[in-house]
C-alpha cells in the first residue's frame, strides 16, 4: 500500500540508524562522536562510505537533531535531545496544531473534531506524564537554528 522502498538503504533509514548510534553513545560519550567513530559503529552491519555518513550528519544538523562541536581538526556530533524528549515534543506539537485550521488538517488526528476542552485535558495529561517521568540525564545543548555551528 505505502510506497516504501525496502531494498536500497534510503537516506531516511540511514538517518535513523545514525541517530540511534548517537543516542546509544550519548550516555558514555557526552562529548559526541566524530564521523569516523559513527562510521565504526556500522562496521559489520552494513557497508557505508565515509562521505555518506558526513552527508547524513549534515542533514541531521540541518534538521536541528544533532549539533556539532569543533574538536581539534575534526567535528564531534551529538544529539540535541534525547529520544524521549523529542517524542514528547512531537506529541505536544501535534496537539498544539489542533488549534490552527490548516495545520490541524496536515495531520489527521484520531481525535479530530475534539472540543477545545478535550484538547486542553489531553495536553494536561501529557504534561502530567512528563513531570512524573524522571528525566534522562543527558547534556542537551539547545540548538534551534538549523545548521548553526555550536560554540558550547
Residues of this chain that interact with another protein (CB under 8 A) are 1-4, 6, 12, 15-16, 19, 63, 65, 83-84, 86-88, 90-91, 94-95, 101-103, 105-115, 117-118, 121-122, 124-126, 128-129
Closer residue to another protein, CB minimum distance, 7 or 151: 7
Residue 58 or 74 with smaller CB distance to another protein: 58
Residues 6+ apart with CB under 8 A from 96: 123
Nearer to another protein, 2 or 49 (CB): 2
Q: Considering the complex, what minimum distance in angstroms separates the CB of residue 20 from another protein?
A: 9
- With 0-12 / 13-18 / 19 or more C-beta atoms within 10 angstroms meaning exposed / middle / buried, residue 74 is middle
H or E segment at 66?
strand 66-71
Task: With H, G, I as helix, E, B as strand and everything else as coil, classify residue 71.
Answer: strand
- To another protein, the closest distance from the beta carbon of 5 in angstroms equals 10
Residue 27 or 105 having the CB closest to another protein: 105
Please report how close the Cβ of residue 33 comes to another protein at its closest, in angstroms: 17
How many alpha carbons lie under 13 Å from residue 71 in its C-beta half-sphere? 13
Nearest-10 crossing angle of helices 116-132, 83-96: 170
CB of 72 to another protein, least distance (A): 29
Amino acid at each position: 500500500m505505502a510506497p516504501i522502498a525496502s531494498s536500497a538503504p534510503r537516506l531516511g533509514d540511514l538517518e535513523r540508524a545514525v541517530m540511534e548510534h548517537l543516542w546509544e553513545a550519548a550516555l558514555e560519550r557526552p562529548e559526541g562522536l566524530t564521523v569516523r567513530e559513527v562510521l565504526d559503529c556500522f562496521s559489520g552491519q552494513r557497508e557505508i562510505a565515509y562521505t555518506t555518513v558526513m552527508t547524513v550528519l549534515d542533514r541531521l544538523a540541518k534538521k536541528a537533531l544533532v549539533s556539532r562541536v569543533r574538536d581539534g581538526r575534526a567535528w564531534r556530533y551529538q544529539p540535541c535531545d534525547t529520544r524521549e524528549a523529542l517524542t514528547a515534543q512531537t506529541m505536544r506539537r501535534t496537539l498544539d496544531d489542533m488549534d490552527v485550521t490548516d495545520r490541524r488538517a496536515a495531520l489527521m488526528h484520531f481525535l479530530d473534531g475534539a472540543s477545545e476542552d478535550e484538547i486542553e485535558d489531553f495536553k494536561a495529561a501529557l504534561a502530567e506524564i512528563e513531570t512524573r517521568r524522571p528525566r534522562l540525564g543527558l547534556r542537551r545543548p539547545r540548538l534551534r537554528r538549523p545548521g548553526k555551528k555550536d560554540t558550547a
